[in-house]
Amino acid sequence: MSEAASGRNIDRKIVEISRFEGRETFESAADTLAVEEPLEIRIGCGKEHRAVSITMRTPGADTELAVGFLFTEGIVRNRASVVAVRHCGKFPNNRNTIKVELGSFEGLDLKKLERNFYTTSSCGVCGKASLEALATAGIARIADDGFKVSAEMINALPSRLRLAQHVFGETGGLHAAALFDEGGKLIDLKEDVGRHNAVDKLIGAAFLVEKLPLVESVLFLSGRASFELIQKAAAAGVPLVCAVGAPSSLAVEAATEFGITLAGFVRDGRFNVYSNPQRLEI
């Protein structure tokens, strides 16, 4: 059974709480929480298979998360290499292991896969500590091909994102990543307890329908812009990344190096541009 067909809200959970107001008054109430569970991502070819990653994520769009992760890590390069993606067990009861079936292991750096990735919902993918790692992974600089957006459109993105964040509206506990076109129209949105997972889900969805590279898209992030998110944007060919929060110093260096226009603190009708401002029409 697929995620959509399960008929259950696997991404949220209702719990009983005691709500306090002031010093003495409290009441019993129900609260909705964002679900956080581990997902083990495996790759397989015939009878051979191996674990690649364990990530803490919000269940839902696991197929997109798995292939998005494999793509942004350089393990799979094109849609034709992926034969099938399925949970290892009956979904949704056994939903925490997923296998990506490949046509061949030929060309894969299997030694690289021997070091298992462990990703928490707060830290992002470990092992990508420098700009040199991006270059050796084959990520190229994004060409300046005339793609431009207006400052007015960027300022409109936070409210458009919030309107589309349905699970966040119930839980208040999820990050979001969204793709917009140059006119500010929402293309796709994914939510997750991990900001890097939300981006992998978004890129994985585009990968599955062969829409990569995302050369005419704006990636909007509900939180800060970290290095690993810029790495993923660069792998997917995204020319413009906007974030509600602050960028890190290494995120700015990576965006500068790989030709990405990076805007931070996009809120309240203002924003800062940290790299490659030529894509903005003022």
Given the residues 45, 123, 126, 242, select the one marked as catalytic. 123
Maximum Cα–Cα distance for the chain, whole Å? 66
Q: Residue 110 has what pLDDT? A: 61
Q: pLDDT exceeding 70 applies to what percent of the chain?
A: 82
Tens digit of pLDDT for each residue in 67-121? Answer: 999 999 888 999 999 999 999 877 667 789 999 999 998 877 666 665 444 444 4
For residue 139, the model assigns a pLDDT of: 85
Q: Report which of 39, 75, 85, 71 is spatially closest to residue 58, judged by C-alpha positions.
A: 39
Model confidence pLDDT, tens digit, residues 39-50: 999 999 988 888
- 123 noted as active-site residue: yes
Split at pLDDT 50, 70, 90, the class of 9 is confident
Cα(202)–Cα(105) distance, rounded to whole angstroms?
25
Per-residue pLDDT at 234 exceeds 70: yes
Per-residue pLDDT, 3: 55
Give me the residues paired with residue 15 across strands: 31
- Which pLDDT belongs to residue 125? 43
Q: What is the pLDDT of residue 119?
A: 42
Q: Is 11 helix (H, G, I), strand (E, B) or coil?
A: coil
pLDDT of 270 above 50? yes
Model confidence pLDDT, tens digit, residues 206-228: 999 999 999 999 999 999 999 99
- Band of pLDDT at residue 64, cut at 50, 70 and 90: very high
Backbone angles phi, psi at 190, to 5 degrees: -130, 145
Give me 82's structure tokens.
């992926």
pTM: 0.87
pLDDT value for 254 = 92
Express as a percent the part of the chain with pLDDT over 90. 60
Confidence category of residue 124, pLDDT binned at 50, 70, 90? very low
